[in-house]
Structure 1
Amino acid sequence: MFGAFLTAGLLAAAPAQSQDAAAKLPHVVILATGGTIAGSGADSTTTVGYTSATIGVERLIAAVPELQKVASVKGEQVFQIASESMTNAHWLKLAKRVNVLLAQSDVDGIVITHGTDTIEETAYFLDLTVKSRKPVVVVGAMRPATAISADGPINLYNAVLLAGSQEAVGKGVLVALNDQINAAREVSKTNTSTTDTFKSTELGMLGYIQGNKPYFYRQSTRKHTADSEFDVSQLDALPKVDIIYGYADMNRVALDAFVAAGAKGIIQAGVGDGSIAAQMKGPLVEARKKGVLIVRSSRVGQGIVARNGEANDDELDTVVSDTLNAQKARILLMLALTKTASSKDIQRMFYTY
């Protein structure tokens, strides 16, 4: 059954608002993609080992009747998957739908319900491809809808509140869970199971949601959304970009396999400051001579990867990821390769976005 919070939410439903009051509310569209927020477990104490993506968008909305107090809400089921199965095709479909909706005068903001495993990647892809300053908020849950302590209802409520707020306009794509607001570019999942997993560990979150109001304390200085140069409206696919992971005694097998499979770009999640092992320099040079773009990132997860620091990037014709982790560097490189094959221009993009 659809959990304790559905029953509790319906019992707590507020009286219907007047038509005048409802007309003044912001119009928010909820695009559902699946994930834990739409998941169900064997019983009310199941918080691991549950099944994701089993509950549709209309039931999610019905389970939080308090939404009617803060927005006029409509829902669409874009797809219904666990987010570890997210693909480039899903991203393109989602970005195009978001842009169509945000171009409408009767849509003030978008909420996207999403599995947490790749929420940071989808959010950053949208941050680079949404063509509007209207709020877009990506939200999920760490516990299924059937759990006693389900975090989905309050997360969804906060996300709708945020998406309909003036405070969120022009802030880029936001990730809102656990009463916190984070920038898509900077947030990452940092814990496998706890509800406070999403953090912008070094640069810090943007703000809080408290007492039915968002509070912003900073914002990202990097370009995003309406100021982005990327346009996916005519794209049916993205260039193939893969990630190789740095470790002691690393070998070239994965790199060679990706290049042979047609990779147009490689993100090296190197050790430390994106260091290149001695035995990997030759294979990376070979790949670059074949036209494959190489971006040096780091497995560390924090800090700037210094250009011409641990490797001579000018000599190798490689790009550094700045502060982007490997999975987000992959997204930016895919989009960059839709516009140019120039390593210099792509390096500019990594310092811009």
Structure 2
Amino acid sequence: MKLISLSPSLVAAIALTTSALRGTAQEIPPIAPPGLNLPRVVLMSMGGTIASRGDTRMNINNYGGPGSPRVDPEHWVADLPDLALIARVTTEDFRPPQPPPAAPGAPPSTGGAGGTTTEQLYKVARRLQELATDDKVDGIVVTHGTNTMAESAWFMSLTVNIKKPVVFVGSQRPWTGISGDGPLNLYNAVRIAATPAAGGKGVLHAMNQNINTARDVTKLSAYRMDTFRSIDLGVIGVADPDRVVFYTEPLRRHTYKSEFNIANLPADSKALPAVECVYAYTEAPGYLIDALTEHGVKGIVVDGTGAGSPTGGATGQTEAIKRAQAKGIIVVVTARTRGGRVQDTPRRRESGIIPADNLTPEKARMLLQVALAKTSDPKEIKRIFDEY
């Protein structure tokens, strides 16, 4: 970011702006303070821990149930008046409706409002595609729950034709928690979205000052701050206090290079081809794959042992995979080690199982879904996994 020298009058204008922001969330300035030509960033909420409030500052792991208070997008802007010095921020809310509190005498809820749905991903992807052509928008930040954030960001990277910066961000602790990571994560995400160098790199993920690609990032710890990492390839940049710095470029196809634009997918999210995941382990049975075959799935992702191997045996996964393939089901294999590629060996080519490179099973599932919406040719699908 370029450092600027502020005149006394400009400092006064900024002070008035930040004072207004503290007073009410609705007083976001439509233009920057005089003398500052700031980037325009849309802050879009998809919910999650960063949009949650605990009942005490020490409540950092038991929050967000039905009826619990939430943090609206405009509250973030009001709580972080510092944003007014780095971008002109407007907000949009794409959270699902909050379920009502449990009725008296009903058992307590075991979780929050529920996970992200494909229908919700469709809505966000379509909105991002609209923003891609809006000359009044320079960058976009999407807040999301950390449990499935990497999947959602990957879906956007596959389906939205955009060169503007798109940054997914969340937090491991609620907005109200002591030592909460949400405020700095959100501030840095806006900084990244306002940085022109962040454009054209596909959908990015930014937490704990690290910048990862949506393709490679994964969550590795339930509660720790450094939970998100790209195991094989590492970060592509950092959001340091002085400036946002990038060191590498993603080479796999994404966003404006992708062939899976949201406009070309089935109009109804429920019409996406059904793809499910199974796990490989000692004596894993084949009947789970048989059941999925009978249920009518179009693809199966096997999270394989070692370098991506299903379990064998007459009653194991290997024989069930053959039965599924005989019925036209595409089978893709990932490696449960989470590090290293599934390689294209002669034995694997003979089996007809498609290697998913180093994708996690949930991301391989999404890629297989959009691929099957376009083609059922195994050679074409293998080409897609090689390129994405």
What is the match of residue 3 of structure 1? none
What is the match of residue 114 of structure 1? 144
Corresponding position: 1:163 with 2:193: yes
| 3-state secondary structure, aligned to 1:30 | strand
Task: Report the Cα offset of residue 20 of structure 1.
Answer: 3.7
Separation in 1, partners of 2:93, 2:372 = 30
Corresponding position: 1:72 with 2:88: yes
Corresponding position: 1:334 with 2:384: no
Give unmatched runs, 5+ long, in structure 1.
1-6
What is the match of residue 249 of structure 1? 283
Separation in 2, partners of 1:47, 1:66 = 25
Residue number among 52, 55, 65 corresponding to 1:39 in the alignment: 52
What is the match of residue 303 of structure 2? 269
| 3-state secondary structure, aligned to 1:181 | strand
Query: How many residue pairs end up in the alignment?
Result: 341
Letter in 2 for 1:341: S
Separation in 1, partners of 2:46, 2:162 = 21
Residue number among 207, 230, 239 corresponding to 2:260 in the alignment: 230
Corresponding position: 1:54 with 2:70: yes
Over alpha carbons, which structure has the higher Rg? Answer: 2
Contact 1:319/1:347 (CA < 8 Å) preserved in 2?
A: yes
Residue number among 241, 245, 254 corresponding to 1:211 in the alignment: 241
| 3-state secondary structure, aligned to 1:167 | helix
Separation in 2, partners of 1:261, 1:206 = 41
Moved over 4 A (4+): 15-19, 81-84
What is the match of residue 21 of structure 1? 35
Separation in 2, partners of 1:184, 1:241 = 20
Residue number among 282, 291, 294 corresponding to 2:319 in the alignment: 282
What is the match of residue 308 of structure 1? 345
What is the match of residue 4 of structure 1? none
Contact 1:174/1:181 (CA < 8 Å) preserved in 2?
A: yes
Letter in 2 for 1:37: I
Residue number among 118, 129, 135 corresponding to 2:165 in the alignment: 135
Task: Report the Cα offset of residue 121 of structure 1.
Answer: 0.5
| 3-state secondary structure, aligned to 1:110 | strand
Q: CA deviation digits over 1:216-271, x for unaligned, max 9?
A: 11121111110011122253222111000011110023212222222111000011
Contact 1:83/1:118 (CA < 8 Å) preserved in 2?
A: no
Corresponding position: 1:90 with 2:120: yes
Letter in 2 for 1:271: T
| 3-state secondary structure, aligned to 1:75 | strand
Task: Report the Cα offset of residue 18 of structure 1.
Answer: 5.7
Letter in 2 for 1:241: V
What is the match of residue 4 of structure 2? none
Report the more deviating stretch, 136-145 or 230-239: 230-239
Task: Report the Cα offset of residue 129 of structure 1.
Answer: 1.1
Separation in 1, partners of 2:362, 2:236 = 21
Letter in 2 for 1:30: L
Letter in 2 for 1:61: V
Letter in 2 for 1:194: R
Give unmatched runs, 5+ long, in structure 2.
1-18, 99-111
Letter in 2 for 1:77: D
TM-score using structure 2 length = 0.83
Contact 1:35/1:83 (CA < 8 Å) preserved in 2?
A: no
Instruction: Describe the shift of the 1:191–1:84 C-alpha distance in structure 2 as closer, same or farther (beyond 3 A).
Output: farther
Separation in 2, partners of 1:67, 1:162 = 12
Task: Report the Cα offset of residue 285 of structure 1.
Answer: 0.8
Separation in 1, partners of 2:376, 2:51 = 40
Letter in 1 for 2:348: D
Letter in 2 for 1:306: Q
Task: Report the Cα offset of residue 130 of structure 1.
Answer: 1.4
Separation in 2, partners of 1:44, 1:167 = 37
Percent of paired sites with the same residue: 38
Separation in 1, partners of 2:32, 2:113 = 38
Q: CA deviation digits over 1:269-309, x for unaligned, max 9?
A: 01111112222221101111111110011111110101226
| 3-state secondary structure, aligned to 2:317 | helix
Separation in 1, partners of 2:261, 2:149 = 21
| 3-state secondary structure, aligned to 1:68 | helix
Instruction: Describe the shift of the 1:83–1:174 C-alpha distance in structure 2 as closer, same or farther (beyond 3 A).
Output: farther
Task: Report the Cα offset of residue 31 of structure 1.
Answer: 1.1
Task: Report the Cα offset of residue 314 of structure 1.
Answer: 2.6
CA RMSD of aligned residues (A): 2.2
